[in-house]
Amino acid sequence: MSRFVCKGIRLWLMCMGLAGLLGCSAPAQQPSPNVLITGADPAQLGTGVALSEDGHLHIVVKEGGHLVLYTSSDLGAHWSPPQRINAHPEAISADGENRPKVALARDGSLLVSWTQPLDKRFTGYIRLARAPHGQAFDAPITVHRDRSEITHRFESLLVTEGGEVLLVWVDKRDMESAHAAGLDYRGAGIYAAVSTDHGQSFAPEFKLADHSCECCRIALAEGVDGAPLALWRHVFEPNERDHALMHLADLPHFAAKSDQFRADALQRATFDRWAIDACPHHGPGLAVTDDGTLHSVWFNVREGEGRVFYGRLGADAPSGQRTVGGSLAAHADVAVRGQSITVVWNEFDGEQTHLYTQSSSDNGDTFAPPRRLSSTRGRVDQPRLAQSGDTLVVVWHTETNGVEVHRL
């Protein structure tokens, strides 16, 4: 077996959380978290998380053909009765990279998005349901106008300070058109749609970029100027799967001006130069401090070794780039408060999967040693950070323990 194939198998096993015997050493486990036991499918543990300004923690999980909302006013010590989001059952994707998303609209409505898989493999529609403040969820809508049985998947959801609701997803309509014409097309496209009425309706979708990776989550964050930032794994020539960053200034007018790909709007954000003709199912995380610094976590193979990295994104290669965790760290998330940076991730040691966190108090110049928050056997979701004001929690959905809520 070739060295490249061996590395590919090791990478796949690492991403699935099923390989290796190496992990981080860390201090003793922290006190027990608040735990929610749900009726979620152990094979579909993808969880949506949002923390509202009034301190309510909202969690969405898949139970059968429904998405179900749980809400806590005390960070998981007590939970409301479950509320069904889609009244009629349908196919729902709830795996790690393609989980449901939750956000709070500026009018107080709760928004939940998800991918609805279709009959053909690797196809889907982007769906969104809205619950006006204090009311039941409206019937879900399909966000995009294109209804071809193709990939519209891996959506991300953001509500801007100005009230616009932004959905961004991986879309293969341009790949399908190119292949039908006998042309080459690497990867997929990145498409977006915007709502200016708090998620009740969406303007026609528009393309942000060609040649994204096919199956990695997209990171969205709001810049200090109020404009959204999108970060995704991109296919750079000739076939390097690094990350691209796009600044969506003046969002309400962006769609009208962006009926075709604008190469000048996209910048290369990472420079690890990972050449692989496959998608690692391992998207980035992004957060922005008050001084405008872009803090990111991502997975790449660099100099033959697959690792999770942290770095501050800029016009050139990331500054302060450093590895996160041990050689089998995976699926990190990042959040910021002032000059404080918090990173969380999963790490498998051959028997158990551990949840770790690590923090910086100096804008990412230095980091304290890792702390282990929890450990479990069986399947796990990716850790999700949620914050509001000075409150920061990590939510971790596990097959054995249920949904754990750790306050950081």
Tell me: do 12 and 125 sit in the same domain: no
Tell me: do 291 and 325 sit in the same domain: yes
Q: What is the pLDDT of residue 303?
A: 85
Q: How far is CA 59 from the centre of its chain?
A: 15
Phi/psi-derived region of residue 229, left when phi > 0, alpha when psi is between -120 and 50, beta in every other case:
beta
Half-sphere exposure of residue 310: CA atoms within 13 angstroms, side-chain side: 29
Residue 356 lies in a domain: yes
Q: Burial-class residue 223 by CB neighbours within 10 Å (0-12, 13-18, 19+).
A: middle
Tell me: do 229 and 204 sit in the same domain: yes
Q: What is the pLDDT of residue 144?
A: 98
Alpha-carbon distances of 334 from 189, 231, 266, 286, rounded to whole Å: 25, 13, 22, 6
Q: What is the pLDDT of residue 26?
A: 44
Tell me: do 120 and 169 sit in the same domain: yes
Q: Which amino acid is at 71?
A: T
- 54 three-state secondary structure: coil
Q: What is the rounded distance in angstroms from the CA atom of residue 300 to the CA atom of residue 89? A: 37
Residue 376 lies in a domain: yes
Cross-strand partners of 285:
297
Residue 213 lies in a domain: yes
Q: What is the pLDDT of residue 254?
A: 63
Alpha-carbon distances of 53 from 80, 122, 128, 219, 394, rounded to whole Å: 18, 36, 22, 21, 16
CB under 8 Å to 269, separation ≥6 — which residues?
A: 231, 242, 243, 244, 245, 296, 313, 318
Tell me: do 302 and 333 sit in the same domain: yes
Q: Which two tokens stand for residue 136?
A: 């039941």
Q: Which two tokens stand for residue 43?
A: 């094979």
Write down the H helix ranges in 228-277.
251-257
Radius of gyration of the chain measured on its C-alpha atoms: 20
Domain that holds residue 352: 1-30+282-380
Residue 193 lies in a domain: yes
Residue 344 lies in a domain: yes
Among 249, 280, 311, residue at a domain's last position: 280
Tell me: do 240 and 161 sit in the same domain: yes
Tell me: do 159 and 252 sit in the same domain: yes
Can you give the CATH number for the domain in which 161 is found? 2.120.10.10
Residue 74 lies in a domain: no
Residue 331 lies in a domain: yes
Tell me: do 138 and 2 sit in the same domain: no
Residue 390 lies in a domain: no
Q: What is the rounded distance in angstroms from the CA atom of residue 30 to the CA atom of residue 72? A: 22
CB under 8 Å to 31, separation ≥6 — which residues?
A: none
Tell me: do 239 and 311 sit in the same domain: no
Q: What is the DSSP string of 344-359?
A: EEEEE-SS-EEEEEEE
Tell me: do 4 and 124 sit in the same domain: no
Q: Which two tokens stand for residue 244?
A: 């691209």
Tell me: do 140 and 214 sit in the same domain: yes
Q: What is the rounded distance in angstroms from the CA atom of residue 168 to the CA atom of residue 194? A: 9
Q: Which amino acid is at 142?
A: T
The domain total for the chain is: 2
Q: What is the rounded distance in angstroms from the CA atom of residue 210 to the CA atom of residue 185? A: 9
Tell me: do 125 and 216 sit in the same domain: yes
CB under 8 Å to 360, separation ≥6 — which residues?
A: 340, 341, 366, 367, 368
Whole-model pTM: value is: 0.90
Among 280, 307, 331, residue at a domain's last position: 280
**Residue 44: DSSP 8-state:** -
pLDDT of the chain, 408 residues: tens digit per residue: 333 333 343 343 344 333 333 334 444 455 568 999 999 999 999 999 999 999 999 999 999 999 999 999 999 999 999 999 999 999 999 998 999 999 999 999 999 999 999 999 999 999 999 999 879 999 999 999 999 999 999 999 999 999 999 999 999 999 999 999 999 999 999 999 999 999 999 999 999 999 999 989 999 999 999 999 999 999 999 889 999 999 998 766 665 655 544 555 799 999 999 988 877 889 999 999 999 999 999 999 988 899 999 999 998 999 999 999 999 999 999 999 999 999 999 999 999 999 999 999 999 999 999 999 999 999 999 999 999 989 999 999 999 999 999 999
